[in-house]
Structure 1
Amino acid sequence: MGKKLVGGLFAGLLGAGLYAAYQKLDEDKKNRMKKNLREKSDELRDRAVDYAFYANDAMNDFKDVIKDEMNNAKDNVKDASSKFSEKAKSFDDTDTPQSDQPTKQQDDIVVDATEAFKNSGIPDAADDLNNGVDEQPKSDRPKASDAANPDEDGSQK
């Protein structure tokens, strides 16, 4: 708060001093000073108006450039869209049979596991049953329960 008070007092004293100096001038010098002040303020006002017009012109130019770029972007998107739709139509035309062209007969693909693994070399369940360990008929093979119970003479069946 002390700085504001000191600054206010300084501005007041400066203003009072300038006013006292102005009052001590003769009328001819006062008129010249007023004239110079008006000329400077008129020049400053003209510059401000010129800069406002420059800024307005620059903003209008910027808007025009943006509008042109947006129109170019729209045209590019429309061109790309039309090219894509033409390619899509030509793609559909080649895939769809025409009425004047004969239609191709296409076979369905059917995958059967027996056909697929026929020559693969992988044994199937029927091969395991046919290729027994000792090639004995089932009736001659010893049972697992017989191996645990030996005969009276101590031999295995």
Structure 2
Amino acid sequence: MDTKKGLLLGGVLGGAAAYLAFRTLDAEKEAEVRKHVLETAEDAKDRAVDYAFYAADALADAREMVNDKVTDYRDSLADTSDKVSDKLNDLKDDLNQLQGYLNTLPVAKQPLTDEEKSDETDDITVDMDDAFAPQNSDDEKGSDRADHQK
């Protein structure tokens, strides 16, 4: 016999036996059994309601805890994002300052290698640093003026 059929048959036969036993009792005993069954059913119902409330409270507490954790993580992520953004902006500013500084530094001339000298043409080139750099001291300027006045 299948397990489900066996449980069903046992429930039906047990219920029928309990009903026959109940009907054989006198009126006082029947009332007492009914009262006991009703009280037990009422207690079971009260317990089921209490457990349902406990479960609802536990679920609400768990939901609140999860929401708190999510809020904490979201705030932490926002703070970290702000810090990273600030650091990136600082780095950007530092790089801009470095670029400005490097643009103001004169580039040192490097002597030509033998290969570059052989590739050099007879074209005249003017180096802007050499063209605008002060070449004469004050004493030489005075003698240059004297030469020009003659």
Give the TM-score normalised by the residue count of structure 1. 0.58
Cα gap change, 1:87 to 1:31, in 2 (>3 Å)? same
Over the matched positions of the two proteins, sequence identity in percent amounts to: 18
Q: Residue type of the partner of 2:16? A: A
Return the match for 1:74 from 75, 78, 100: 78
Number of residue pairs aligned between Structure 1 and Structure 2: 112
In terms of Rg, which structure is larger?
1
Aligned equivalents of 1:110 and 1:18: distance in 2?
Answer: 117
Unpaired segments of 5 or more residues in structure 1? 117-157
Unpaired segments of 5 or more residues in structure 2? 118-150
Give the TM-score normalised by the residue count of structure 2. 0.60
Offset at residue 71 of structure 1 (A): 1.2
More helix, by proportion: 2
Q: Which has the higher contact order (CA 8 A, sep 6+)?
A: 2
Return the match for 1:44 from 34, 48, 73: 48
- Aligned partner of 1:8 in structure 2 is 8
Give deviations 1:107-136, integer Å, cap 9, x for gaps: 5779757369xxxxxxxxxxxxxxxxxxxx
Return the match for 1:27 from 27, 31, 34: 31
Q: How does 1:1-157 map to 2 (within 5 A)?
A: 2-3=1-2, 4-23=4-23, 24=25, 25-97=29-101, 103-106=104-107, 114=115
Offset at residue 27 of structure 1 (A): 0.7
Cα gap change, 1:11 to 1:26, in 2 (>3 Å)? closer
Aligned equivalents of 1:45 and 1:113: distance in 2?
Answer: 99
**RMSD after superposition:** 3.0
- Aligned partner of 1:126 in structure 2 is none
